[in-house]
A and B are shown apart, each in its own frame.
Chain A
Amino acid sequence: MKKLLGVFLLLMIILISAILIRSALSSAPVNDDDDYAANAGYIRELMTLDAAWSLATLKAYNTPDSNLDQVAGFLPQVREARINLESSSLTAAEAPSVLKNKLSRYLLLIEGKEVVIEHFKSNFAVIRNSVKYLPLAAQALTQALRSAENVEINDEIVDLFERTNSFLRNPDEGTRMRLLIDLSRIHENVMSYPPDIANPLSNFTSHARVLVERKMKLDDSIERLAEQNVQQAGEELLASYQNYREDLQAKQQKDRQLTFLINLGLLALLILLGVLSALFLLVTDFSFSKRLAAEVAAKTEHYEKTIAEVSSPSLDKNLSESLDGMGRMAAVLAHEINTPLGYLGGNLQVLYNGMGKIQSLMGEVKAMLEDVAEATDLEEVGRRIEAFNDVALGLQEDAMLDELPEIAEDMQSGIDQIQHIIDDVKDFTRKDRSSSDWFDIRQCIDRAVKMSRAEIPESTRIDSELTDAPNIFGSPAEINQVLINLINNAAHAIEDAGREKGAIRIKTSIEKNQLVVSVRDNGQGFNDDVRRRIFDPFFTTKDVGKGTGVGLAIVRRIVANHGGKVMVKSIPGKGSNFAFVLPLNSIKNKETDAV
């Protein structure tokens, strides 16, 4: 008897150990949650830094006088995030090679990005300076040429200056090469001129060359920053890491289920043995079986919990996390748009709430009208009117109706803001600012007035008298620039005249199949001497530093490019009238060109 009991007990100990060992073994390898969370966190961190880095760089590009400390400040953070990933278990020998390849590709792209940003910073700094200085250098040079009475290369300099400027607006390889050749030809001969020409000439050609050489490099780095490939590589890495993890989990889940079944069998055996032992022990060791029962209960609870966990895998929170890697730039935009959308939505809600009341008012009106039409019972009509009155009063008390205009205004400004944001994005992404299209001159004028208004004192009135005109084919951006230049000149002339009340009048008319746009001011005007030279590049009556004297030269060039011409009349002390004509009959030709 005792021997049998001993065998039972031995078996039970073995079984219990087996169960404990199995459960210990089966839970151990699943416990890599922390590892996964940490690695996914590192990837996401680098992705966030990457996006913020691009944004900071692009922001510096768009901010005058920005300093690049912030952009440089990303370096240590990126380095740390990179080191975290490089030393993570993702690079361990047992990590799958697909994952390792994706990681090393991502890290390489991040490294490449650093190079792009460094080149951006260097080119940006130089270009920012030379863009500012080139007109001054050109001005100094033409002055030197004028006083040396050397007109021979003056025209060429003017031409080079305009070509350089137009290259900066629309850089292309062909123009770049031609400009570089022309510039270096002049630069090589610098020494053949006397020093008072050689120095400004060398300054001018050097700056123009630097601009031409670096502009496309700068654009290239900006384009590369705006590309999403680094971000995508990060997303791909994260996605494949998640897949890998899910596969791993599925496999482990299967293992766990199997383990669970085996454990269940062992447990059944254990219970059976326990019962048998209890029968043998019965009275002598009751407490033992009681302890066993408690243990069995605890174990069962443990497995029930396991079953519960296995059968309802906690909805993968990583799924939602993976979404936040997608284009953080888009997130910033979304944020910008979100605010105006917020009050658009809020106001719509107000309208929607009010709508119910208006509807019930309408219902009352309808019922009242029906009753009045039948008019059998005056008392009934009276009650109807009262009911109607109640609803109407309620609506009035609600003040919703009073608020309607305000609500509409708010919503309009929300829409305007979104439009503004979208315009900004469009402006930023538009590569070719001077691309041609059919456009309405009236809209163009409206826009130019709005844009210049910001810098013109309120005491100056700008009004316009615009006739109906067919659409024009050309570059709205360039015509816009023409208008802005003319309006600004008019404003400066008014300011110089010290007028208390300035007036700028913009008028369009159609004469002999030509569109005439005139900008008239009551500024100080100018005499014939000035009028003759007014379109010469670098000719300016403004103080040094206030104007480069190229504004009107640009006006004339753009108008000429559109097949038109610029005319000017002025009476000293009274004001000036600048007008440009654009031929309407050339539209057909332009149209075929465009197709």
Chain B
Amino acid sequence: MLCIGYMPTIHAGTPLTNEPIQPIPLTVDVDSAKATLGRELFFDTALSADGDISCASCHNLKEGGADTGKRYSIGHNGSEGGINSPTVYNSSLLFRQFWDGRAETLEDQADQPVTNPVEMAARWPDVLARLYENPSYPNKFQQIYSDGITRENVKNAIAEFERTLLATNSPFDQYLRGNENALTAKEKKGYELFKNYGCHSCHQGVNVGGNMFQVFGAINNYFEERGNITKADLGRFNVTGDSADKFVFKVPSLRMAKYTAPYFHDGTQKTLLDAVNAMFRYQLGREAPDSDKEAIIAFIESLAGEHLEMKK
């Protein structure tokens, strides 16, 4: 058991247990030797073809764990990806990985950017060879994994590190744990509105999202109005080939939304207000006064927790 992040504030209030959102756990059961090795790999550019890109290049741990400010990330040889880079914080709490949920585990996820031609564009044998040339990796791997440096072990170590990336103790989590003063009146009102408007139908659970798939454009057709449909827009359909899965995506977590503009898989919404507006139009199919939206945004910002990596 490894304690991550910060110790929670102790308070006397009664925890709120019947809410559609639950706090992020304060501890996580990981192998700390693996996680330490995984961290090193996470920041290592040896995983990319040209030795210039690491996981951290597009998942900036200091700024919310995503590629903040960029619609699409820049990968191998300056090529642009086709989908917005999501945060790695709390990713172990997602029911599946990637926007289209094509990976079932963090390990499966870690595998793909390495070989993706617009991301790291590397080949695994080359990556493993580079890791073997490193003065310290062979020894470190050997101490943890009996079969040394393998593709599986690299993925496992990175995934283990990612499991430690729980951003805990957000104001909202403190509120859920019984500290009534952890939220401002506006944030509390935002939470009530969030529920009243039905946002929690999809953005729910510990990660405020990330536990189901949903069609983007549930009520009004987003893609028709945006135009220029790309392959990435087809979402889950690319995985299942089922036409019912067209434009279906994993509901993203709102936990770190405070830090991870721009929003949506296509990175089209520059601010949280833009994103909330679009959600009202396409997913909820209803109107709301600006003051309600502002309160909801204040609530969403209260969901972001803390992690030591953000201060390093």
Contact = CB atoms under 8 A, between A and B. Distances in A.
Interface of A: 65-69, 71-72, 75-76, 79, 115, 118-119, 121-122, 125-126, 128-130, 132-133, 137, 199, 202-203, 206-207, 210
Contacts of B200: 65, 67
A164 B104 CA distance: 38
Given A69-B22, A118-B212, A130-B285, 19 more contacts: A67-B22, A67-B204, A68-B212, A69-B205, A69-B206, A71-B211, A122-B214, A125-B201, A125-B214, A126-B215, A128-B201, A129-B198, A130-B219, A132-B198, A133-B286, A199-B287, A203-B287, A206-B219, A207-B219
B211 A67 contact: yes
Contacts of A75: 95-96, 104
Contacts of A129: 198, 201, 284
Contacts of A121: 211-213
A374 B126 CA distance: 115
Given A72-B211, A72-B212, A75-B104, A126 B218 contact: yes
B166 to A, nearest CB: 15
A138 B211 CA distance: 31
Contacts of A119: 244
Given A119-B244, A122-B248, A67 B20 contact: yes
A65 B286 contact: no
Interface in B159-211: 195, 198, 200-202, 204-206, 211
Given A66-B20, A137-B286, A203-B286, A72 B201 contact: no
B201 A126 contact: yes
A75 B286 CA distance: 33
Contacts of B198: 128-129, 132-133
Given A65-B20, A121-B213, A126-B214, A72 B287 contact: no
Contacts of B22: 67, 69
A79 B103 CA distance: 12
B21 interface: yes
Contacts of B287: 199, 203
A206 B280 CA distance: 13
A114 to B, nearest CB: 10
Given A125-B212, A126-B218, A72 B284 contact: no
Interface string B94-109: 0110000000110000
Interface residues of B, number: 32
19 contacts: A65-B18, A65-B20, A67-B204, A68-B205, A68-B211, A69-B204, A69-B205, A69-B206, A75-B104, A76-B104, A115-B242, A118-B213, A119-B244, A122-B215, A125-B201, A130-B219, A133-B198, A202-B220, A206-B219
Contact of A67 (B205, B219, B248): B205
Interface of chain A: mostly helix, strand, loop or mixed: helix
Given A66-B20, A126-B218, A206 B285 contact: yes
Contact of A210 (B201, B213, B219, B286): B219
Contacts of B20: 65-67
Interface string B57-93: 0000000000000000000000000000000000000
Which 8 pairs show the lowest CB-CB distances between chains A and B?
A69-B205, A129-B198, A72-B95, A67-B204, A72-B211, A121-B212, A125-B201, A67-B205
A76 B187 CA distance: 34
A203 B285 contact: yes
B28 to A, nearest CB: 14
Contacts of A67: 20-22, 200, 204-205, 211
A87 B287 CA distance: 53
Nearest to B221: A206
Contacts of A202: 220
A79 B212 contact: no
B211 A207 contact: no
Nearest to B244: A119
A121 B204 CA distance: 12
Nearest to B201: A125
Nearest to B220: A206
Nearest to B207: A69
Nearest to A121: B212
B212 A122 contact: yes
B25 to A, nearest CB: 12
Contacts of A115: 240, 242
Contacts of B286: 133, 137, 203
